[in-house]
Structure 1
Amino acid sequence: MEKPSVLKMLENRVWRIYLGGALLDQLRGKEGTDGYFPEDWLASVVAANNPDRPDKPEREGLSRVMAPNGETVYLKDLIESDPEAYLGAEHIAKFGVHFGVLTKFLDSAERLPIQVHPDRDAAKRLFCSDYGKTEAWYILGSRVIKGEEPYILLGFKQDTDCAKLRELFDAQDIAGMAALMHKVPVKPGDLFIIKGGTPHAIGPGCFLLEIQEPTDYTISLEKCNMLGERLPDFLCHQGIGFDKMFECFHYEGHTFEQLLEAFKPEPRLTARSEEMAQYALITEKETPCFALNALIVSGRCSRETFGRPGALAVTRGRGAVDGIPVRAGDSLFVPAGAGTYTVRADTGEMLELLECLPPR
């Protein structure tokens, strides 16, 4: 096989239980409406863990790409057709034939359920999975919803325990559960790392890029959606049952200052030239699960894969990546075997991209 090239992803909207998506539409130059497809999964080899519904598509969540021969194929299938070319021998030796990371655009018009994701120990014990769901959020935009400024709920204010949380859950005392947690205002440019086991909820009005371990294990503390409609029990416990789902939580508390110190890293400038600046957003200092960089390109620059696959999400401007025209809202998969490729901003444009990398 000849050297693989950078691949542009097709749009990949995914059904969720909450409303949103208007700011994602607007990023892509559309009018923008909120609905139940508020996320786009970028360079995804992960199937969405959604219940059946009449219009559920086959292999929901998996990204598709236009192959060089003009055929539309799933990225997962393409990778499996030549793993070493797309993932690299070193990556395969450590992680097998799996990209090892999942990235999403996510826009919330209403608060998401109070939830938690398992860390790797809990994922192995409860789901027989090598991956948990540590994630990071980079806030891209925001809006006021029904007079409320955007926010997230994150972490317990004080040490709590399973019995107390279970009591609130059984009573479906949503206000009581939210009161246990910190309410953190957010704005564009804010960055958060959400380690597996940490309770959280994205509030209304948050548009973000999420990078995470490649699973869809979400333990929800809310049995109904925002319309009061009862949801399948599976969407609470993901098949492990109501008793075991509480084993996914870390119950220690943080002061607000401790919370920001532990979960809100600051971007760090790591490279600069006349035509490009690179900022490290998430590194091994925060988590071994993935890495996230921001690239701001005003002219032309070269990038090197160093044998590591990755994904790119375009968040501003127009230009080209490896000769492929791109604009805000586009995403690409960069095969490990692509080697050196170019990133170019159109004349007068500032091209901003987020580079999403699997574990090393």
Structure 2
Amino acid sequence: MSSDNEPVALPANQPRQFYRGGPAIAALRDADVAENGPEDWVASITTQFGAEEAGLSRLPDGRLLRDAVTADPVAWLGPEHVAEFGADTALLVKLLDAGQRLPVHCHPSNDFAARHFGCRHGKTEAWVVIGTSGPEPTVYLGFREDVSPEVVAGWVSGQDSAAMLAALNPVRVSPGDAVFVPAGVPHAIGEGVFIVELQQPTDFSITLEWQGFLAGPEAGHLGLGYDRALACVERRAQAVDDLVRRTRALTGESVDLLVPGAAPFFRADRLHVSGTAALEPSFAVLVVLEGAGTIGPVALRRGSTVVVPHAAGEVVVTGDVVAVRCRPPRVSSLGS
């Protein structure tokens, strides 16, 4: 059985999805392409919506990470985190390779999720772009102008994809860009965009544009009916500059990737290690983008995904490594 006091390298965890993608994940990992594998759920204690086990990460010794955290939450998460969240990592990390444009959708807020799903977490998320392909890699983020509830409902009932997409802000992206997506903000990820995604640990998606993507409208409203589900849509215009951070040119041992508004939900930084670097104690998920080295006793290479328990303490990274480090919010940031 692996120790809950040391970093652990995780195998791939690619639950079946409705859309195409996956070659970029395979190339990063130097592995075969998984069938219907456009997402790799890393260090996940979250199941796909309505599933009993799909989506959960397993440790190399066969235990579900969820069960290991439940058995010893303080070792995995630290006492302050446990005091606020219990045996809940408060974080889900994914690799997501969009082999086609994803549908226009949004996610509920904490309040909406509490009222309708009995869950403390909504699904605010962020995308750290680590690769792109094609001539115009683009994401779509928030409405360009305020939209009335009647207009949104009309688009959904008529499945007017062109109108929905045209109403959103198109944002060209390249590696190093980081996009914050607050709960409720409608969005879509374009074909050829490869990201490390941080999100609150749920699988709640209200799919406005279901036709051509899902089996039917019932799969798009999570059992609420669209009359109720569309209440979670943020219909106000979004200022893209407040949500996007361009970090490609930034250097240093640790580069903060996200805009300040993300702090109550999660943290992400890009590590540039040449030699050695000591990381402060924290539950963390590392995705290695370049290079090779070690973290504690674990070997690192391009494509490695590693979960670090809080009990590992001030863990040391050695070698020449570029990695995205994902962490839950600081407990002191809650409510800010």
Same fold per superposition (TM over 0.5): yes
TM (norm. structure 2) is 0.92
For 2:19, give the aligned amino acid. Y
**Tell me, what secondary structure is at the counterpart of 2:226?**
coil
**Counterpart in the other structure of 2:59:** 65
Q: Does 1:220 align with 2:207?
A: yes
Q: How many residue pairs get matched? A: 329
244, 255, 268: which one pairs with 1:279? 255
**Counterpart in the other structure of 2:233:** 249
Distance 2:41 2:4 in 1: 26
Superposed CA offset, 1:210-258 (max 9, x none): 00111110110123335xxx5143420112112111011111114xxxx
**Counterpart in the other structure of 2:43:** 43
Residues 314 and 330 in structure 1, CA contact (< 8 A), matched pair in contact too: yes
Do the aligned partners of residues 291 and 180 (structure 1) sit closer, same or farther apart at CA in structure 2, a change above 3 Å counting? Answer: same
Residues 177 and 248 in structure 2, CA contact (< 8 A), matched pair in contact too: no
Distance 2:250 2:19 in 1: 37
**Counterpart in the other structure of 2:224:** 240
How far does residue 97 in structure 1 lie from its aligned partner after superposition?
A: 1.1
Residues 296 and 352 in structure 1, CA contact (< 8 A), matched pair in contact too: yes
Residues 175 and 248 in structure 2, CA contact (< 8 A), matched pair in contact too: no
Residues 5 and 309 in structure 2, CA contact (< 8 A), matched pair in contact too: yes
How far does residue 297 in structure 1 lie from its aligned partner after superposition?
A: 1.0
Residues 21 and 39 in structure 1, CA contact (< 8 A), matched pair in contact too: yes
Distance 1:92 1:140 in 2: 31
191, 195, 204: which one pairs with 1:208? 195
Distance 1:2 1:36 in 2: 32
Q: Does 1:143 align with 2:133?
A: yes
How far does residue 101 in structure 1 lie from its aligned partner after superposition?
A: 0.4
**Tell me, what secondary structure is at the counterpart of 1:65?**
coil
Superposed CA offset, 1:6-57 (max 9, x none): 1111110121111001111111123657x52100011111011267xxxxxx
**Counterpart in the other structure of 1:188:** 175
**Counterpart in the other structure of 2:106:** 116
**Tell me, what secondary structure is at the counterpart of 1:118?**
coil
Unaligned regions of 5+ residues in structure 1, if any? 52-57
For 1:251, give the aligned amino acid. R
Residues 151 and 202 in structure 1, CA contact (< 8 A), matched pair in contact too: yes
How far does residue 64 in structure 1 lie from its aligned partner after superposition?
A: 0.9
Unaligned regions of 5+ residues in structure 2, if any? 331-336
Do the aligned partners of residues 237 and 91 (structure 1) sit closer, same or farther apart at CA in structure 2, a change above 3 Å counting? Answer: same
**Tell me, what secondary structure is at the counterpart of 2:262?**
coil
TM (norm. structure 1) is 0.86
How far does residue 125 in structure 1 lie from its aligned partner after superposition?
A: 2.0
Distance 1:2 1:26 in 2: 30
**Tell me, what secondary structure is at the counterpart of 2:162?**
helix
Do the aligned partners of residues 118 and 77 (structure 1) sit closer, same or farther apart at CA in structure 2, a change above 3 Å counting? Answer: same
Do the aligned partners of residues 11 and 217 (structure 1) sit closer, same or farther apart at CA in structure 2, a change above 3 Å counting? Answer: same
Distance 2:167 2:246 in 1: 26
Distance 1:163 1:319 in 2: 55
For 2:72, give the aligned amino acid. D
